Amino acid sequence: MKRVGVFVCHCGINIASTIDISKVVEDLKNYPGITFIQDYKYMCSEPGQALLKEKIKAEKIDAIVIAACSPTLHENTFRMAVKSVDMNPYNCEIANIREQCSWVHNNISEATEKAKRIIKSVVEKALLDEDLEPVRVPVTRKALVLGGGIAGIQSALSIANSGYEVILVERQSSIGGRMAQLSETFPTLDCSQCILTPKMVDAGQHKNIRLMTYSELDDISGFVGNFKVKIRQKAKYVDWEKCTGCGLCIEKCPKKVPSEFDQGLGKRKAIYTPFPQAVPNKPVIDCENCTYFKTGKCRLCEKVCPFDAINFDETDSFIEEEVGAIIVATGYDVYPVLNMSEYGGGKIPDVIDGLTFERILSASGPTGGEVRRPSDGKIPKEIVFIKCVGSRDPEHHYPYCSKICCMYTTKHAMLYKHRVHDGQPYIFYMDVRAGGKGYEEFYQRAQEEDKVVFLRGKVSKVYQDDDKVVVCGIDTLSGSNVEIRADMVVLAMAIRPSKGIEELAQLLKISIDQNGFLTEAHPKLRPVESLSAGIYLAGCAQAPKDIPDTVSQATATAAMISNLFSQEYLLHEPIITGVDEELCSGCGLCVAVCPYDARKTNREKGVVEVNEILCEACGACAAACPSGAAQQRNFTDTQLSNMVKAILAE
Amino acid sequence: MFEPKIVAFFCKWCTSAGADLAGTSRLTYKPNITGIRVMCSSRVDPEHILDAFKNGADGVLIGGCHPGDCHYQSGNYQTLKRVKLLKKMMTDLNINENRLRLEWISAAEGKRFAEVVDAFTEEIRKLGHIHYTTL
């Protein structure tokens, strides 16, 4: 049998004043399983640790129990100490007789008896503890970033600057994302493209970043440090190796379609780049709208291309890569105005969403930055902004706050006023949430300098009357009904995780919350990790957030990944739950309760197999196993049962 | 006075940390309870609980993280399901189902930990000594 040594700490008087330590030592001296027992004033001190090491050698001890403070304090200290004298650190156990005994009881005899029970039960555990080694896994030092918006760009650049390779995958033909569509950014009003495009160019030219635009993740297998990914490169019909981005094809293309980048307000060609500063600045052919693909005639782009870059026969291709970590930065979509028929969404052309208004305000937008309404191009003299449309509305739409709308609507009203000096902006709001550096001051400025009228209340109805858009609402601060005959209405629509997030989450085996956003590992302490090791979250895919928060989170993911990649091996807690193949019937009950997909049924062998790297050691499977085949290392059924018995024995 | 024997299983992340907080806050509670620290409440097999009753435990307390807070995503929900089912079985075995209690106690709830332990100890005291008979 194993030789267990017990060391009882006085912790000065912290333990010794309520627990009769000499009685504990005396009574447990002959407890079966205890080879050696000694007390000491401060076990964690240098002399205490020296005593421990000396006795381990002298008494030939192969497992120890330190009866002292909570394991959260010194478990690691003692594990390191025993390791230095060649004892496996997983044979070092802590009996918590301070926080859970001496500090919470006053009666010395009761506390002493309880301390004995605690020590005995931990001795029972130590008797059956196995030598364990942390699971070592190699790591591929290359990251995959999904999404080329500001979140993806920022994380890719940060990782690349740490010296690691990055594959940046974006489904549009250019990186830039939503931020590229914005006019100016709150609260400083700097032009969005002016601060974004240098970063886009950096990402495009960085020696450690491989850009894969017009691409999507197709398949994934593996685990942290060792993912295998398959990326689909969609057919572009333009050989980007040959293309110089001269733009002649775009100029000559006869087919015009609404531009997605301009939210449908402007036009683009069937061969196009989404916007002039695109990175890479090379076109793709939209085969659904291309005249050649539809009628079999045209090929004008092919004729004019000086570099012979057009290839109508191109098909989707697949690239397989190995990566060690993944960042999901897939961003957001705007909840369509069609869902707001009571506000005329989709029926009244001058009722638009906030992102469309960004394009109207943008100097590179369809109106060249002049505020003109979509229906007739007239400059609106009265404009109404409505906040919380689709957000904070659990009964009809979404319960959460979209977070950015308070600030961007304030910005919209301000920018409108800067362009239409004699115009009047109104904002209907539920609350103004201006938490953020410089945000409250920005909101005050909109009221004081730009004379934006803030009306606290909900809008009941929006309807068209001649060329006016009439907004009926209530101002709850004065208690009066309000009717504004506006020229234009802008709805601050809820923001939603971008299209395809469910499929992507399923593919990556990460979870999404009740509102469809990706779930972080812990809401406070692990806000940038998913629950699957090696997969990180950045930007609005995780929750609505503004640019500074997105950039912070994206940089944090890069720090996490640099940390991961700087390790020679990944070490993983070894107290995982294995499978005894002789006992396992392959019933799969354990597979169903595993939150990490660490267990899989091998149909051929009729047993469950465990991926030790994915197992996080909760032990849920061990409790679910009807045959005892699943045993958590150092928390086996026998150990727990012996611990229970030791507590209850007279 | 009858002093019940109570065995407890505390998850490492929430309830055991809550118990530690009760200690650092120098709260006091009844010493009848002795805890076993597991990684997650979902590690507790109903067999361990029955084992405790069979070996003379008058009560068993399980402490886990609050719903939605489980360190392992869903472990506490597994525990909840198992405890509900086990309580039905306990009735069949003639063990008062109140001898088993599942509580969500967070790492910040030292006070609540002490209150729960005292309340449970009193309840078990009233129920008296367990008489475990096998079927």
| pLDDT band at B37; cut points 50, 70, 90 | very high
Q: Residue A450 pLDDT > 80, yes or no?
A: yes
Q: What is the pLDDT of residues B49-70, one digit of tens each?
A: 999 999 999 999 999 999 878 8
pLDDT of residue B135: 52
| pLDDT band at A108; cut points 50, 70, 90 | very high
* Percent of chain A whose predicted confidence (pLDDT) is above 70: 100
| pLDDT band at A596; cut points 50, 70, 90 | confident
Query: Is position B88 within any domain?
Result: yes
Q: Residue B134 pLDDT > 80, yes or no?
A: no
The residues near A32 (Cβ < 8 Å, ≥ 6 apart) are none
- In chain B, residues with a C-beta closer than 8 Å to the C-beta of A113 are 31
Query: Is position B135 within any domain?
Result: no
Query: Is position B21 within any domain?
Result: yes
Helix (H) or strand (E) holding A576: none
Contact B52 A107 (CB under 8 A): no
Chain A interface includes B7 (CB < 8 A): yes
Q: Return the structure tokens found at A560.
A: 């996490």
d(CA A514, CA A353): 24
3-state secondary structure string across A228-250:
EEEEEECCCCECCCCCCCCCHHH
Query: Is position B133 within any domain?
Result: no
Q: Residue A209 pLDDT > 60, yes or no?
A: yes
* Residue span of the structural domain in which B60 resides: 6-127
Contact A105 B28 (CB under 8 A): yes
pLDDT of residue A41: 97
Q: What is the mean predicted confidence (pLDDT) over A452-459?
A: 96
* Percent of chain B whose predicted confidence (pLDDT) is above 90: 86
Contact A531 B73 (CB under 8 A): yes
Domain tally, chain B: 1
Contact B34 A647 (CB under 8 A): yes
Q: What is the mean predicted confidence (pLDDT) over A466-489?
A: 96
Bridge partners of B133? none
Q: What is the pLDDT of residues A169-191, one digit of tens each?
A: 999 999 999 999 999 999 999 99
Query: Is position B53 within any domain?
Result: yes
Contact A70 B23 (CB under 8 A): yes
Question: Domains of chain A, with CATH numbers?
Answer: 4-132 (3.40.50), 137-233+317-331+498-571 (3.50.50.60), 235-315 (no CATH), 334-494 (3.50.50.60), 573-633 (3.30.70.20)
pLDDT of residue A216: 98
pLDDT of residue A314: 96
Q: Residue B41 pLDDT > 70, yes or no?
A: yes
Q: Which of B5, B26, B38 sits opposite A619 (nearest CB)?
A: B38
Chain A interface includes B22 (CB < 8 A): yes
| pLDDT band at A514; cut points 50, 70, 90 | confident
The residues near A131 (Cβ < 8 Å, ≥ 6 apart) are A88, A90, A91
Q: Residue B132 pLDDT > 90, yes or no?
A: no
Q: What is the pLDDT of residues A9-30, one digit of tens each?
A: 999 999 999 999 999 999 999 9
What 3-state DSSP class applies to A631? strand
pLDDT of residue B72: 86
Query: Is position B134 within any domain?
Result: no
Q: How many CB atoms lie within 10 A of CB A431?
A: 11
Q: What is the mean predicted confidence (pLDDT) over A541-548?
A: 97
Q: Return the structure tokens found at A231.
A: 């990326």
d(CA A261, CA A275): 7
**How do strand A325-328 and strand A142-146 relate by DSSP bridges?**
parallel
Query: Is position B20 within any domain?
Result: yes
Distance in Å, alpha carbon of A497 to nearest chain B alpha carbon: 21
Distance in Å, alpha carbon of A527 to nearest chain B alpha carbon: 13
CB pairs under 8 A between A and B: 126
Put simply, whether the predicted model's pTM sits higher than 0.90 gets the answer no
What mean pLDDT, rounded, does chain A reach?
Answer: 96
Q: What is the pLDDT of residues A603-613, one digit of tens each?
A: 999 999 999 88
**How do strand A495-497 and strand A424-429 relate by DSSP bridges?**
unpaired
Q: What is the pLDDT of residues A76-101, one digit of tens each?
A: 999 999 999 999 999 999 999 999 99
Place of tokens 């993911």: A557
- Look up the CATH number of the domain holding residue B14: 3.40.50
Q: Residue A265 pLDDT > 60, yes or no?
A: yes
- In chain A, residues with a C-beta closer than 8 Å to the C-beta of B42 are 593, 618-620, 623
Distance in Å, alpha carbon of A307 to nearest chain B alpha carbon: 55
pLDDT of residue A614: 87
| pLDDT band at A510; cut points 50, 70, 90 | confident
pLDDT of residue B20: 95
| pLDDT band at A515; cut points 50, 70, 90 | very high
Are the C-beta atoms of A35 and A92 separated by less than 8 Å? no
Chain B interface includes A640 (CB < 8 A): yes
Q: What is the pLDDT of residues A266-304, one digit of tens each?
A: 999 999 999 999 999 999 999 999 999 999 999 999 999
Q: What is the pLDDT of residues A130-151, one digit of tens each?
A: 999 998 989 999 999 999 999 9
Contact A640 B57 (CB under 8 A): no
Q: Residue A562 pLDDT > 70, yes or no?
A: yes
